[in-house]
């Protein structure tokens, strides 16, 4: 078929796969391309009734609020329908030293950025004698809010607004259902249920159609591959290779389990808990009626049976009778994310262990990028694809580096897993260089020059200094004027005290929102 015979316009986008990534892509595209209008671009989502979604993936980051708002979803509806709770950050337990007889060590990587309005607080904190207040508690109020089991907002605040920055924990299956309904009823997305058997390619190697069991050939101008790890279109049909990053991040399996609370009204932690283990770490996400947990581990350092024992030991009596599901993880990303007229969003694009909730984060951001830079004509597609590939590759490399940071500055020596993680040939060179510099001066914005860093200065500061990384300030830095910084820290402590009396307990807040909703203003 000669392409010149057809108009150059891109009229139909087919999203293949209906998990979180698929429906987020369909929603972003439909909204941006005005799918519900006759002169917009048609957006169809095709999914199988037989293939299950991955079934995990419950942590988000604050950017999701903007997405929900932009898509026109009410926060109260979202909280009710997706069994959501608030997430204010991640609590890392026992990442610094080998577990001993003393108390667990923990630090918070919170969402609120450090308050540097009165000058940089990091150097001031570094110059304080030990024992000193934790980094997070010196520069922000949110760590204390988390420790006290409080929510990030009051019931009288408008939707999507809070006293501190926040995101959510959610039920992935229910989230996909909410997005499905919203996409179809409000955004004009067409929904088809069928299995894709193969793809029909054109002369130039592009996808002309997917062949389905129920509808035969389904054609489109652009295909979005949201088929999960199998990457049916980009990986299999178009043969784009996978770049494995197990050389840097060792964890290649997850053992997932859902468990109940000891009592119905037990407090819900308003942060993800990530507890370091012998050969990996365990996630623990609290939804109102149950917890989602999982052990992320390296099969090169432990075996499946020992891994299950580790998880069950962590779960204790709550885990009795809990079904444990083993999920192999492909850690890495595709060599290209957009090839010809096929772009991958979701697990088909890339994946790393969920230590910093990067799954939904990257899929939401790249789906948005796809919608925002959507090629106006077929002739432009290759240029858009190249830009997309550059940006998404940059994003994944930064994600891999940031995750690695948590491992390579740990002091744990209780197993090969931890020692191997500090081998310099497993650490990306740019991270090694930055760490070398940071031994002598703290990170600055100049370490994160791109707009698309994914993780920026504040994120690195929370992890670096939460993990007690040693930055030895030179003589010159010891003598800077610390008056304003000291006053600011005192002020932060004061604001914390006030907020403690105002903010509701997390579970109470969720119950109220489920009952009374949230106002729009």
Q: What DSSP string runs through 132-200? A: ---HHHHH-SHHHHHHTTB-SS-TTSPTT--SS--EEE--HHHHHHHHHHHHHHHS--EEEE--EEEEE
CA distance 128 to 147: 23
Least distance CB 413 / other proteins (angstroms):
51
Write the burial class of residue 156 (CB in 10 Å: 0-12 exposed, 13-18 middle, 19+ buried). exposed
Q: What angle do CA 99, 101, 107 make, to 5 degrees?
A: 50
- Burial label for 394, CB within 10 Å (0-12, 13-18, 19+), is middle
DSSP code per residue over 288-342: SS-EEEEEEE-TTTS-HHHHHHHHHHHHGGGGTT---EEEE---EEES-SEETTE
> Among 87, 153, 330, 404, which one carries the catalytic annotation?
87
Least distance (Å) from other proteins to the CB of residue 79? Answer: 13
| Cis? peptide before 131, omega within 30° of 0 | yes
* Separation CA 309–CA 36 (nearest Å): 51
CA 395 – CA 389 distance, rounded (Å): 10
Nearer to other proteins, 162 or 269 (CB): 162
Nearer to other proteins, 58 or 159 (CB): 159
Residue 155 C-beta: closest distance to other proteins, Å: 4
State the minimum distance, in angstroms, from the CB of residue 154 to other proteins: 8
Interacting residue ranges for other proteins, rule: CB under 8 A:
154-157, 512, 515-521
3-state secondary structure string across 381-449: HHHHHHHHHHHHHHHHHHHHHHHHHHHHCCCCCCCHHHHHCCCHHHCCHHHHHHHHHHCCCCCCHHHCC
DSSP 221: S
87 catalytic? Reply is yes
Q: Which lies closer to other proteins via its Cβ, residue 12 or residue 505?
A: 505
Active centre residues (catalytic)? 87
């Amino acid at each position: 078929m000669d392409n010149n015979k057809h108009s150059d316009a891109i009229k139909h986008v087919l999203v293949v796969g209906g998990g979180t990534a698929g429906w987020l892509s369909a929603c972003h595209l439909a909204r941006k391309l005005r799918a519900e209008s006759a002169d917009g671009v048609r957006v169809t989502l095709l999914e199988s009734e037989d293939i299950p979604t991955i079934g995990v993936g419950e942590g988000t980051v604050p950017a999701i609020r903007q997405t929900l708002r932009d898509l026109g979803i009410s926060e109260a509806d979202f909280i009710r329908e997706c069994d959501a709770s608030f997430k204010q950050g991640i609590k890392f337990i026992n990442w610094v030293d080998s577990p001993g007889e003393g108390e667990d060590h923990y630090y918070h990587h919170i969402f609120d950025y450090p308050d540097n309005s009165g000058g940089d607080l990091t150097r001031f904190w570094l110059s304080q004698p030990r024992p000193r207040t934790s980094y997070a508690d010196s520069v922000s109020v949110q760590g204390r809010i988390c420790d006290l089991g409080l929510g990030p907002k009051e019931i009288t605040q408008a939707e999507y607004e809070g006293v501190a920055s926040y995101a959510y924990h959610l039920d992935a299956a229910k989230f996909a259902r909410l997005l499905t309904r919203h996409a179809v009823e409000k955004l004009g997305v067409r929904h088809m249920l069928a299995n894709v058997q193969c793809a029909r390619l054109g002369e130039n190697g592009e996808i002309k159609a997917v062949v389905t069991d129920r509808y035969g050939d389904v054609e489109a101008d652009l295909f979005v591959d949201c088929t999960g790890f199998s990457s049916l279109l980009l990986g299999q049909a178009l043969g784009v290779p996978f770049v494995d990053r197990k050389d840097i991040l060792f964890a290649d399996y997850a053992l997932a389990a859902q468990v109940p609370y000891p009592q119905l009204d037990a407090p819900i932690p308003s942060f993800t808990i990530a507890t370091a283990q012998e050969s990996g770490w365990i996630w623990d996400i609290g939804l109102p009626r149950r917890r989602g947990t999982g052990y992320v581990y390296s099969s090169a350092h432990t075996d499946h049976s020992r891994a299950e024992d580790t998880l069950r030991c962590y779960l204790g009596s709550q885990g009795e009778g809990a079904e444990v599901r083993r999920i192999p993880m492909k850690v890495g990303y595709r060599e290209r994310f957009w090839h010809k007229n096929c772009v991958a969003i979701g697990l088909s694009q890339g994946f790393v262990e969920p230590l910093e909730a990067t799954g939904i984060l990257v899929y939401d951001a790249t789906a948005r990028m796809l919608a925002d830079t959507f090629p106006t004509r077929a002739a432009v597609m290759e240029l858009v694809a190249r830009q997309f590939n550059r940006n998404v590759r940059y994003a994944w490399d930064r994600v891999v580096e940031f995750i690695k940071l948590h491992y390579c500055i740990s002091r744990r020596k209780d197993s090969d897993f931890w020692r191997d993680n500090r081998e310099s040939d497993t650490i990306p060179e740019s991270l090694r260089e930055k760490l070398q510099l940071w031994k002598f001066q703290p990170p600055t914005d100049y370490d994160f020059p791109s707009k698309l860093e994914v993780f920026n200065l504040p994120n690195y500061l929370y992890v670096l200094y939460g993990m007690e990384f040693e930055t030895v300030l030179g003589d010159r830095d010891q003598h800077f004027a610390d008056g304003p910084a000291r006053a600011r820290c005192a002020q932060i402590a004061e604001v914390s005290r006030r907020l403690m009396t105002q903010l509701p307990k997390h579970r109470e807040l969720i119950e109220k929102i489920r009952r009374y909703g949230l106002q729009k203003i």
